[in-house]
Amino acid sequence: MKTHPTTNTQPSTSSPVSSSLPPGPVPALVPPRGDITDPPLNSAVQPDSTEDDLFGPVISTYTRAQALDDGIQVDANIGDFGEISREHFKLPCYMTARLFAIIEKAVANERYCNDFRGVWHDVCWMGKLAIRSSRDASVAEYSVIIKGAGRRSTYRVRVECGPMDIDDPRPCLTFMLPDES
């Protein structure tokens, strides 16, 4: 029998303690990496399951393109709006029709020398400041002064960062009134 010198916790003896290991190579305590069969990380999700199984079939969808066609949203990436949007943000920008109506009313009021570029600049600038100080990276609410749009001059605006459309996951910003979210 092969003996191995070891440290003994009992009173010391002068003879080495013999090992109870069988002769030959020491057995591996951990199998080689190729022998391990880990379960898949998402083993609870069946590969054949779909979103329809969990939530049921989609009843209807309303895309941003349809909202633009219907006049519910306004594309702030073209014309004067587009130039101002690009000055403030790297993402495409949209606004709701209700916010656009406030801007349009302010521009139409001849008593105040508003133009689309100036009012949209104010909305974007205040939005940019609100986004920087917001705790939530996807939503910010702020106040902006828009003179000439009505009896009041301060309006609450909400900006949300979300997908461009249902089938287009690129991010974009949508400016709206707080009750439109």
Instruction: Look at the chain and count its residues.
Output: 181
Long-range contacts of 124-132 (CB under 8 A, 24+ apart): 124/84, 124/85, 124/87, 124/88, 124/89, 124/93, 125/88, 126/157, 127/88, 127/157, 127/159, 127/173, 127/175, 128/88, 128/89, 130/159, 131/159
pLDDT digits (tens, 9 = 90+) for 76-101: 999 999 999 999 999 999 999 999 99
Rounded to an integer, the average pLDDT of 67-79 is 96
pLDDT digits (tens, 9 = 90+) for 8-25: 445 444 444 445 555 666
Q: So what's the pLDDT on residue 55?
A: 79
Strand order across the 168-176 sheet: 73-75, 93-96, 168-176, 154-165, 139-145
Which has the minimum average pLDDT: 10-24, 54-68, 111-125, 136-150? 10-24
Q: So what's the pLDDT on residue 54?
A: 77
Q: How far apart are CA 50 and CA 56, in angstroms?
A: 9
CB distance 141 to 126 below 8 Å: no
Tokens of 27: 């057995």
Mutual orientation of helices 116-133 and 79-88 as an angle, nearest 10°? 30
- pLDDT more than 90, % of the chain: 64
Q: 4 or 166: whose pLDDT is higher? A: 166
- pLDDT more than 70, % of the chain: 71
Residue 112's CB is within 10 A of a number of other CB atoms, namely 15
Judging by beta carbons within 10 Å of its beta carbon (0-12, 13-18, 19+), is residue 177 exposed, middle or buried? middle
CA-wise closest residue to 133 among 142, 121, 122, 145: 142
| pTM exceeds 0.85 | no
Residue type, 159: V
Q: So what's the pLDDT on residue 132?
A: 94
Rounded to an integer, the average pLDDT of 103-118 is 96
Tokens of 112: 């105040």
Residue 126 makes CB contacts below 8 A (sequence gap 6+) with 142, 143, 144, 157
